[in-house]
Amino acid sequence: MITGRVLLLVGGYTFHKATNASIVHNRWRCSSHNKKCNAFVVLTDDETKIVRAKLTHSGHNRPRLKHLVTRAMVKPKAKDRKTREEKLAQKRLYRRQKYEEIKKDPEKYAAQKEKDRLRYLTRKEQNKIKMIKDLTPRQQRQKRKQWNENSQRYIEKKKNRAIEQMFIDNSPPTSDYEEIDPQVPQVNELRCSGATRHFKFDISQ
């Protein structure tokens, strides 16, 4: 099957089944019928034998069967269909990774910050960015609510990082050969000095 059609091969030429209802049943026309080739074959009802045929071709050459077989055997590649949300999430992840790479290079990071600043000024001049005072009261409430949610997420993220870092700094060495930094207070020292209580108080703020 090629491009959704079943082809019949007779004498090195290809035929496709006629779809016109007025044409004789099980009549197959030459695939180059649009080139005014009148060759055709008529098959039995079970399509096992040729009942009548006109095999005089005109207006075209014999097709290259090697290419036809190759096209018929090639299966279409399965497309990896993703939803719009998955594509946007992948795009955001790519941008975040790219930005982290830029931050490692001071020169590129400075150039990127200047580029972002100029883009912000341009968008502000074009009135694409509105100040909080230019919004309606309802829009102001929505914007402030969004700011509060973003601030809460940032604080929670910062707390989690601090807790993870505390466990890393106060975890016991993995082997006897691992050196212990004398500048880092150990668990017992934290308990004695009251630093643990002070740390918990800061986290609960």
Q: Determine, yes or no, domain membership for 62.
A: yes
In one-letter notation, the amino acid at residue 13 is Y
pLDDT at 204 over 50: no
Residue 129 within a domain = no
The answer to whether 13 and 31 are in contact (CB under 8 A) is yes
* pLDDT, mean of residues 79-100: 87
Whether 40 is in a domain gets the answer yes
> Helix, strand, coil proportions of the chain in percent (round to 5)?
50, 10, 40
- Domain assignment present for 138: no
Domain assignment present for residue 27? The answer is: yes
pTM of the complete model: 0.36
Residue 56 maps to a domain: yes
Using an 8 Å Cβ cutoff, are 22 and 47 in contact? no
Q: How many domains does the chain have?
A: 1
What is the per-residue pLDDT across 160-202, written as a single tens digit (0 to 9) for each? 999 988 888 887 766 555 555 555 544 444 444 444 444 444 4
pLDDT of residue 153: 93
User: How distant, in Å, are the alpha carbons of 78, 88, 192 from that of 82?
Assistant: 12, 10, 55
Cα 12 from Cα 181, distance rounded (Å): 84
Strands (E), 37-161: 40-43, 50-54
Pick 19 or 37 by higher pLDDT: 37
The predicted pLDDT at position 100 comes to: 92
Range of the domain at 17: 7-73
pLDDT digits (tens, 9 = 90+) for 141-154: 999 999 999 999 99
φ/ψ (deg, to 5) at 193: -85, -10
- Please give the mean pLDDT across all residues of the chain: 75
> Is residue 53, in this structure, part of any structural domain at all?
yes
User: Would 25 be classed as within a structural domain?
Assistant: yes
